[in-house]
Amino acid sequence: MNPYNYLYLSALLFTIGAIGVVVRRNAIVVFMCIELMLNAANLTLVTFSRINGTLDGQVVAFFTMVVAACEVVVGLAIIVAIYRSRRSASVDDASLLKR
When asked if residue 96 is in the footprint of another protein (CB under 8 A), the reply is yes
Q: Are 34 and 17 in contact (CB under 8 A)?
A: yes
The least CB distance from residue 30 to another protein, in Å, is 8
* DSSP 8-state code for residue 97: G
One-letter amino acid for residue 62 of the chain: F
When asked if residue 98 is in the footprint of another protein (CB under 8 A), the reply is yes
Q: Which stretch binds another protein (CB under 8 A): 2-10, 62-70, 76-84, 90-98?
A: 90-98
How far apart (Å, rounded) are the C-alpha atoms in residues 83 and 13? Answer: 28
The least CB distance from residue 53 to another protein, in Å, is 25
When asked if residue 69 is in the footprint of another protein (CB under 8 A), the reply is no
CB-count exposure of residue 40 (10 Å: 0-12, 13-18, 19+): buried
Q: Which residues bind another protein (CB under 8 A)?
A: 18, 21-23, 25, 30, 91-92, 94-99
